[in-house]
Amino acid sequence: MTRLIVFLSVLAGLILMLVLFTFKTLPVSNEKFDLQKTAKEFATHQELVKEITSPKELEVVSEVAEVEYAPVVDLNTPELVAGNKLFGQCIACHGKGGEGKPSQKAPHIGGQYDWYIEKQLTDMKAGARINVAMNPIVKGLSPADMKAVAAYVNKLPWNKEAYIAALKAKK
């Protein structure tokens, strides 16, 4: 009987030691909560969010939104007529022929597949593709608008020289 009691108390002692040892190795952070530091970090974060979401290039766009130009695309369907009108908003950055502008970091889109353009616009509006420059523009485009402008851009000549040649040929 005494042996059993001794055995059990040794066992209990061992378990106790094990538990105490585990507690000792638990990481403890005594760093105090710093309200000022947190407030500063939050302000920096807010600034970053503002920078990411603010429509910086909007003024550039509205200036040229109504630009008139000779389209090289035959506007022989109502969709192309609508697309031509909508493309007025894109020229400031992508150029009349959709040739793109390095100064705006806007890529060449003239002649691109219509389904690809439509998908990019849809993704940008949905937030799946983030494009700060185009944010304010895609907001105002309906699915039908995207389809129309995509159809129009697809009909633009693929390269700048071809666009200029097509413009000359029209005159």
Minimum CB separation of residue 85 from ligand HEC in Å reads 10
* Pairwise CA distance, residues 10 & 13, whole Å: 5
Nearer Cβ to ligand HEC (63/161): 63
- Cα–Cα distance, 60 to 62 (Å, whole number): 6
- With respect to ligand HEC, which residue has the nearer C-beta, 80 or 86? 86
Q: 46 or 53: whose CB is closer to ligand HEC?
A: 53
The answer to whether the Cα torsion of 42, 126, 92, 117 is positive or negative is positive
User: Is residue 57 a contact partner of residue 93, using CB atoms and an 8 Å limit?
Assistant: yes
- Taking the complex as a whole, the smallest distance from the CB of residue 72 to ligand HEC amounts, in Å, to 16
Among 166, 168, 7, 171, residue whose Cα is nearest residue 72: 166
Instruction: Compute the least distance from the CB of residue 49 to ligand HEC, in Å.
Output: 19
DSSP string, 16-62: HHHHHHHHHHS----PPP-HHHHHHHHHHHHHHHHHHHS-TTHHHHH
- Whole-number minimum distance, CB 62 to ligand HEC, in Å? 10
Q: Which is nearer to ligand HEC, 8 or 58 (CB)?
A: 58
Nearest approach in angstroms of CB 125 to ligand HEC is 11
Binding site for ligand HEC (CB under 6 A): 57, 61, 86, 89-90, 92-94, 104-107, 109, 117, 120, 131, 133-134, 137, 149, 153
Q: What span, in angstroms and rounded, lies between the C-alpha atoms of 94 and 126?
A: 21
Nearer to ligand HEC, 82 or 133 (CB): 133
